[in-house]
């Protein structure tokens, strides 16, 4: 009997973690499809195939659920867009692939940041992470610069690689993923060439 108990506890812990992940996945999926106000606990519970009571028992509140979703997404985003200063072209290609995967959802969140605190928190963190990513990828171009000049060039590179640039080419102009990447790299090259 004693050998069954640890096994049972481990299985239960694994099931609980799977339920937690399914709920977080449900809220993330909904947040990429609809305004956050429409991401209600009943809709999250339905998508995760659990009860609202289960969601509340695990997370305590809608705010806590969204906070964990933001945390888990941040780790995924960092993995999707590696920052390699030795290969900026590959880094920008990974960034475009990241936008292909999440860009439309990010744009939906950006449209809500002025009035939705959860959206503001998520995109605020995303903007800061993007700036850090740019500073890392283009460090060899930025390091020789100082003060205001460095900030100016960093701003230009942030804009050249922003999700709004992806939207402009990919969604508004109907360019392919490869055409979008080509244009983003050309814009980056124009900024970095200007430094020479």
100-152 pLDDT, tens digit each: 999 999 999 999 999 999 999 999 999 999 999 999 999 999 999 999 999 99
* H or E segment and range at residue 130: helix 117-137
Q: How confident is the model at residue 15 (pLDDT cuts 50, 70, 90)?
A: confident
Q: Is residue 45's pLDDT more than 90?
A: yes
The domains found in the chain, sorted by start residue, are 4-65 (1.10.10), 81-194 (no CATH)
pLDDT of the residue at 54: 96
Q: Is residue 14's pLDDT more than 60?
A: yes
Mean pLDDT of the chain: 93
How far apart are alpha carbons 104 and 18 in whole angstroms?
Answer: 27
């Amino acid at each position: 009997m004693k050998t069954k108990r640890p096994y049972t506890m481990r299985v239960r812990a694994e099931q609980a973690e799977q339920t937690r992940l399914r709920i977080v996945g449900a809220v993330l999926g909904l947040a990429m499809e609809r305004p956050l106000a429409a991401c209600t606990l009943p809709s999250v519970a339905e998508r995760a195939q659990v009860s609202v009571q289960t969601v509340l028992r695990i997370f305590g509140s809608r705010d806590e659920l969204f906070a964990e979703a933001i945390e888990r997404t941040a780790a995924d985003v960092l993995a999707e867009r590696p920052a390699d200063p030795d290969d900026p072209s590959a880094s920008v290609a990974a960034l475009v692939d990241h936008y292909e995967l999440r860009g439309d959802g990010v744009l939906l969140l950006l449209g809500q940041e002025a009035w939705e605190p959860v959206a503001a928190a998520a995109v605020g963190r995303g903007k800061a992470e993007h700036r850090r990513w740019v500073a890392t990828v283009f460090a060899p171009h930025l390091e020789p610069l100082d003060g205001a000049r460095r900030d100016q060039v960093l701003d230009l590179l942030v804009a050249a690689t922003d999700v709004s640039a992806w939207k402009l080419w990919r969604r508004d102009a109907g360019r392919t993923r490869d055409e979008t990447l080509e244009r983003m790299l050309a814009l980056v090259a124009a900024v970095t060439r200007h430094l020479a």
